[in-house]
Structure 1
Amino acid sequence: MDPRSSTGQPVNRRTTRMATADEQLRLMTRVARLYHEQGMRQAQIVEELHISQARVSRLLAQAAKVGIVRTIVVPPEGVFADLEETIASRYRLRDVVVVDVEGEGDEVIPALGAATAVYLETTLLEGDRLGISSWSATLLAAVEAMRSRPGKRSLEEVVQLMGGVGDPQVQIQATRLMGRLAETTGAEPVFMSAPGVVASPAVRDAILADPKVSSVADAWKHLTIAVVGIGSLEPSPLLRRSGNIFSLEDQERLRDLGAVGDICLHFFDENGTLLDTELNDRVIGIDPDAYRAVPRRIAVAGGDRKYAAINAAVSGGWVDVLITDLGIARRLAG
């Protein structure tokens, strides 16, 4: 027997289901408009429509699910979210920060430094052990821009990743970088009291045997974050003045092998493949395997002349967070 309405007429179940669905969509749209367009709180919608709080929440969730409400994020000027996501996906990076500046060398350093300072202030956690390369003008600018934050959870240690002894006038800057970062984060500074490059592997081994130096090398094994610059084959002015560089003959040999850049004076080719030379055994600094074992590796680099080095570093998996300028980012994104 067909079900009948209160008037005795047969009930069309299909018509009833359609009417119910239409009413659900109508109510869903009404709730969504009140909430998103008129700015009413859920409690006010409960009062307005005489429905339960749970139903209001459910209708808002359903409105988003079926496409009645569509959320669109519009990045403000100077924020390059699409570009950052494209680069992160292409090179399998954890994060990318694109800074709204273009140019060469000194033109991009202040902006990159400021962006790095903000990134570190936002992402550093209590108990982190941070290693930092000391011969980078960009990292020096970043540390100078960081703000002391009383009461903020502090790092455990700040560890120098490369030998720091060099020209006394330039050494002051490296020491200031370490000291300032330790002061800002409340961390214990761990200095590397040795030159960055020595004459032979035998000299390097002798220096690393010293307990004060070996204790720093042991600290590298426990880092949770590394913050580094990316060098090109041509040394930066700061690194050149420091005296912690390979000779012109060594640099020419690296060029012949296809070197395009370095991290902590470990050079790689255009694909990011480490060049296996005896020069690696003359560097007093974190070795490539220990560096790659650091869970989060942040590189800060920009300027047109560094494109090949930056591209190689991200292609070869040397970093998982990149902070760079807009010009480099556009080239990386292709």
Structure 2
Amino acid sequence: MDETRLELLGQVAVWYYEDKLDQAEIASRVGKSRSMISKMLNEVRELGFVETRVNYPLRRDAGLEEGLCESFGLEQAWVLARQRFDNTEDSTLRLVGKLAAKCLQSRLFDGIRIGVSWGMAVEELVQAMPRIELREAEVVQIIGSISYGGSPSDGSELVRSLSGKLNANFRFLPAPLIVNSNTAAKSLLDQQTIRDTLNVARQVDVAVVGIGTTHPSLSTLFTSGYITEEDLEHLSTRGAVGDVLSRSIDRWGREIEGGFNERTIGLELAALHSIPSVIGLAGHVLKAEAVLAALRGGYIDTLVTDYATAHQVLDLQTSTKTMHEQERGA
């Protein structure tokens, strides 16, 4: 395609999309028919001259946000309001990711260090993040990789993508998420590169973490092949209800001792208490018990979730308090 044609297509795109001229006005300016302008607009879209981005405001539920902050001492809660039209699981997760991206944007500054875990909700956040030109920022992978196949929800891929959008440097954690033995874990953690990365991870300004569950259909540890359904059942019998940083926790937020928790390569749960801001993400009502456990453990100071999950978390907390009061009164 010659330069004259490209220039004409570009000018038509500017008139239509930026100057808001209708097709009849553009046709008059260039001496062509309206149908020809329509074809040219299709052509500019096919050539990638135009990107369409829908930025409608996400509705939030202030009542649930206030309830979560009061019940758990959170710094902030961002709760996606009940959706009137499309409330499918995929749509809800995507919108939670967009809401989380707005939450993270509100905390960005030049020189920031951001720690990133992994998971589908974190992936949606990264996809929703717009391009922002930060200076001297860094994105750090805080847990090992789930695969070497370039999974879009893997920590290394998310770090690479987010750093590109923020004009930031990136730092990978060059290790698998879970290894076969405690000896192998100790050997990896003794390596200088891994030690250095984890030391940086402990000093990030903001950490973004997904909250996992023991439900097989929603467990990324299970769907990624790291653990089996039998492993999930075994964890459940030991009291596990979910995971943070891929480390299993019980309903009170206590880390489950032994098992693959000791074979996990990444930031320790206790380290989250020293990070200034930890944003936890979850976008499914079946994760409510895991979210409640993460809140009880004090691992996050900001929660981003959806209406149904937030409602269920508060209901579970209320029912637990009621049960304890009844036991004390008996």
Q: What pairs up with 1:192-211 in 2 under 5 angstroms?
A: 192-211=173-192
Total equivalences in the alignment? 255
Q: Deviations over 1:90-120 (max 9, x none)?
A: 1110000011246564241110111111111
Cα drift, residue 196 of structure 1 = 0.3
Aligned to 1:330: 311
- Give the Cα separation in 2 of the matches to 1:82 and 1:169: 40
Q: Which has the larger radius of gyration?
A: 1
Q: Deviations over 1:17-62 (max 9, x none)?
A: xxxxxxxxxxxxxxxxxxxxxxxxxxxxxxxxxxxxxxxxxxxxxx
Structure 2: any 5+ residue segments left out of the alignment?
1-56, 316-330
Cα drift, residue 211 of structure 1 = 2.0
Aligned to 1:183: 164
- Give the Cα separation in 2 of the matches to 1:203 and 1:288: 20
Residues 292 and 144 of structure 1, relative CA distance in 2, 3 Å threshold: same
Aligned to 1:309: 290
Aligned to 2:253: 272
Q: What pairs up with 1:140-219 in 2 under 5 angstroms?
A: 140-150=123-133, 153-154=134-135, 156-164=137-145, 166-170=147-151, 174-219=155-200
Cα drift, residue 238 of structure 1 = 4.8
Letter in 1 for 2:126: V
Structure 1, 97-106 or 266-275: larger mean CA deviation:
97-106
In percent, how many aligned pairs have the same letter? 29
Cα drift, residue 330 of structure 1 = 1.9
Residues 155 and 290 of structure 1, relative CA distance in 2, 3 Å threshold: farther
Aligned to 1:242: 224
Structure 1: any 5+ residue segments left out of the alignment?
1-75
Structure 1, 155-164 or 99-108: larger mean CA deviation:
99-108
Task: For CA contacts below 8 A with separation 6 or more, give which structure has more relative contact order.
Answer: 1
Candidates 241, 255, 258, aligned match of 1:260: 241
In 1, are the aligned partners of 2:221 and 2:227 still within 8 Å (CA)?
no
Cα drift, residue 332 of structure 1 = 2.8
Q: 1:322 aligns to what SS in structure 2?
A: strand
Q: 1:186 aligns to what SS in structure 2?
A: coil
Cα drift, residue 231 of structure 1 = 0.1
Q: 1:284 aligns to what SS in structure 2?
A: coil
Candidates 98, 104, 114, aligned match of 1:130: 114
Residues 316 and 84 of structure 1, relative CA distance in 2, 3 Å threshold: same
Aligned to 1:110: 94
Q: Are residue 285 (structure 1) and residue 269 (structure 2) matched? A: no
Q: 2:240 aligns to what SS in structure 1?
A: coil
Q: 1:96 aligns to what SS in structure 2?
A: strand
Q: 2:162 aligns to what SS in structure 1?
A: helix
Cα drift, residue 171 of structure 1 = 6.3
Residues 270 and 155 of structure 1, relative CA distance in 2, 3 Å threshold: farther
Q: 1:309 aligns to what SS in structure 2?
A: helix
- Give the Cα separation in 2 of the matches to 1:278 and 1:237: 17
Aligned to 1:72: none
Cα drift, residue 310 of structure 1 = 0.8
Letter in 2 for 1:145: A
Q: 1:230 aligns to what SS in structure 2?
A: strand
Letter in 2 for 1:285: G
Q: What pairs up with 1:13-162 in 2 under 5 angstroms?
A: 78-101=59-82, 105-134=89-118, 136-150=119-133, 153-154=134-135, 156-162=137-143
Aligned to 1:295: 276
CA RMSD in angstroms comes to: 2.3
In 1, are the aligned partners of 2:285 and 2:312 still within 8 Å (CA)?
no
Cα drift, residue 203 of structure 1 = 0.3
